[in-house]
Every structure is written in structure tokens, then in C-alpha cells.
Amino acid sequence: MFADNGLSDAQISALFLIWSLVGVIAEVPTGAIADRFSRRTALAMGGVLQGAGYALWLAIPGFNGGAAGFVLWGLGGALTSGSLEALLYDGLRAIGAARYYSRLLGRITAAGLLAQIPVALVATLLFQVGGYPLVGWFSVGCCFTAAALAMLLRDVRAPDRPAPTADVGLVVADSADADRTSDGVASSVNTVEESTDDPDDDSGLGYFATLRMGVVEAVGTPALRSLVLIVAAITGLDALEEYFTLVALDWGVPVEWIPLAIPLAGAASTWWIAHRSPSKKSFAASTLALALGGGGILLALSEWFGRPAGLAGVALFYALYRVVLVAVNTRLQDAITGPARATVNSVASLLSELSAIAIYGLWALDGLPLIAGLILLLAVAIPLALR
């Protein structure tokens, strides 16, 4: 769309740079906003800002409109990053069901990956009917719909971590029934009470105090710092997905196979992890190390096989990678003890952006072999980080 609007390759690259810089700069401050005020509102505003960014692209085609749109999208992405995980974990923790976090996150991840397939088909049809404007305004509508759905969620904090007074949360009492459900989600609670304003609790913290608390917890606690670093490094591997189409082209594999094989592999693995036992034993450090290391070996061998067999190796790597990503994210949430959970998650997200940049550089140097070597190093580091 940008190219058809007359932008040069250099201008398009500049837009991507603006997008990345805004995300990096805003990542941690917006995490503190979610912790101090409302994670639910942060999720909703993320959708609104992204939709507004798309609208600017359509209303002001060209570099200025593109830059303004990417600024809004960067802010929206920063608001949602970390907020969703914090809202999910503390909401489950409030009813004594935090051990089901990996199950819920696995379902969400699987749903997101599966959605890529029909959405790609719908976008193709819309483009044939109405070109960029129809696809663009439909995308705006999707963002606003997501924002409206986010406002239906409850920003529930655990009883010992009350929701901030700006967005009164709920404290769920008597959550013993959470253990007596068929799918791991509490079917009933006896009473639901509004959290009270306690001057001694963390809800009275100002924004900067919340920001400092989250950053200090993320980087100042050795055990948590190790988890933040390993989660960031593994999350950064998601940047490899940008190169899968290029790999397919080099191997002579039909490019159309990529949007099917990769999301389906990731969705299948995360749906599987969603139905695993919620016990922490399901995520033993040695098992995760073997899974990621095995995926790295498959990725390295896939270049040797090439053609369709190589694509199968890439898909299997992606499936194993997604399992490990959900598992280490769960370990991180379990380790966070302070009230600034979204801020801690945002620190990890910020570092993952730097990890992704490293992936881009390594790919430029030697492609898959060097990346596979990095993955093996990360596999070795997992047991150390999860001790």
C-alpha cells in the first residue's frame, strides 16, 4: 500500500524504524500505566490507537500519514504488551486458579494463530472487491471491536494486590470451588465484593512509584532477572517468522504453504499445551531445554533437506518454540510477587525487541545455521534461568 502510494524503499524503512522506536520507548512506561490505572482500559486503548493509526493511513496517504499512523500503532502495541498477561494471571490468581494460566494462554495463542488463516482469505476477497480502502476500514472495525470486547473483561486483582482506585477491581472470596471444575475454571464463588480503599495497600502508589517498583523487581531480583532475560531472548525468536517466506522461496516451496503450515503448527502445539496438566511438572526445565534444542536442530537440518521436507522441519521447530514460549512465560508470571506485574512484563517485552534486532543481524550474517546455533545456546541457558 505504501509503495503504491508513491513511497520509496527508504521511506518505508523509515516508517518501520519509527514504529519500532515508539514501541521501545513506550514499552515500560505504558506497562506502569496499566498497573497504576487499569489493565482492561490499556487493552482497549491499544485497539483504539491501532485502529486510529490505520484510519490515518487511509485518510492521509503518504509518508506523514504513515508516520503518524505508526506512532499510534506503536503506542497501542506498547499498551497491550504485558497488560494481557497481567490481567489473565491476576484474574486467575484472585480465584485460586493461577495454575491454569498456561492452559488459558495456550488457548489464546492457538486461537490467534488459527485466526490468521481465515483472516488472510477474507483480506484477499475484500481487496479484490474494494482494494486498500475496504481492507483498511474493515481492519479499523476489527480493532475497535477488539477494544469493545476488552472492556467486557474484569480487571481483577488478587486479594493481596487490590486493583488501583482509578479502576475498582473485584475481590473474589471463597475460591475453593475453583478446584472442583471440569476445565479448570471456577464454576462458582460464594461472594464477590468490591475492593475497599486501604491507605496501606499498593493501590495508593503513584504512577512513578509503580513504574519504579516494576523496574526494580524485574532487574533487581536475581531469580526474576534471569527469567526476564530468558523470556525476552526466547520471545525475540518470533522475529524468525518474518523470514519463513524467504526460506520457502529459496527452497522452491510454494509461498502459499507458509500461511498454512506455520500457523497450524503453532496452533496445534499451543492447543496441546492448553490441555496439559496444570502442574508445574509439565514444564520441567530439562524438558523445555530439550524441546527448544530439538527445534534448533530441526531448523538447522531443514536447510539441508530443503524443498517440502525442509518446510516440515521449520514447522516442527515453530511448534516446539511456541510450547517453550508459553511455558517460560508461565514461569515468569509465577515468579512475579509485586503489584506491578504489567510493568515487569513490559521490561521483558522491551528486551525481546532488542533480541529480535539481534536475530535480524544474525540472519543477515549467515541465515539459518547461525540462528540454529543461537537457539541451542538458549536451550542450554533455560535450566540455568529456571533454577
Please give the angle made by the CA atoms of 284, 286 and 287, to the nearest 5 degrees.
Answer: 65
Decide if pLDDT at 49 tops 50.
yes
Mean pLDDT of 310-326: 89
Specify the amino acid at residue 304: W
**Average pLDDT score over the chain:** 83
Mean pLDDT of 75-81: 94
CA distance 339 to 201: 10
DSSP notation for 82-114? THHHHHHHHHHHHTT-GGGHHHHHHHHHHHHHH
Mean pLDDT of 232-256: 80
Under DSSP, is residue 169 helix (H, G, I), strand (E, B) or coil? coil
Mean pLDDT of 280-297: 85
Decide if pLDDT at 132 tops 50.
yes
Give the pLDDT confidence score for residue 50 in this predicted structure: 98
Tell me the CA end-to-end span of the chain in Å, nearest whole number. Answer: 48
Strands (E), 196-280: none
Give the pLDDT confidence score for residue 269 in this predicted structure: 85
CA distance 153 to 169: 11
CA distance 149 to 15: 29
How far CA 236 is from CA of 90, 92, 353, in Å, comes to: 25, 27, 6
Burial 76-115 (b: 16+ CB within 10 A, else e): bbbbbbbbbbbbbbbbbbbbbbbbbbbbbbbebbbeebbe
Contact partners, residue 64, CB within 8 Å, separation at least 6: none
Mean pLDDT of 172-184: 36
Query: Which has the minimum average pLDDT: 75-89, 194-208, 319-333?
Result: 194-208
Give the pLDDT confidence score for residue 282 in this predicted structure: 56
Decide if pLDDT at 136 tops 50.
yes
Give the pLDDT confidence score for residue 158 in this predicted structure: 61
Domain layout of the chain by residue ranges: 9-153+207-385
Give the pLDDT confidence score for residue 363 in this predicted structure: 82
Q: Write out the three cell numbers for 197.
A: 480503599
C-alpha closest to that of 346 among 13, 42, 2, 61: 42
Q: What is the CA radius of gyration of the chain?
A: 21
Q: Write out the three cell numbers for 225.
A: 532477572
Mean pLDDT of 356-363: 86
Architecture label for domain 9-153+207-385: Up-down Bundle (1.20)
Of the pLDDT bands very low, low, confident and very high (cuts 50, 70, 90), residue 197 is very low
Q: Write down the H helix ranges in 184-306.
A: 207-220, 222-236, 244-251, 258-274, 285-305
Contact partners, residue 68, CB within 8 Å, separation at least 6: 53, 56, 60
Contact partners, residue 303, CB within 8 Å, separation at least 6: 247, 310, 367, 368, 369
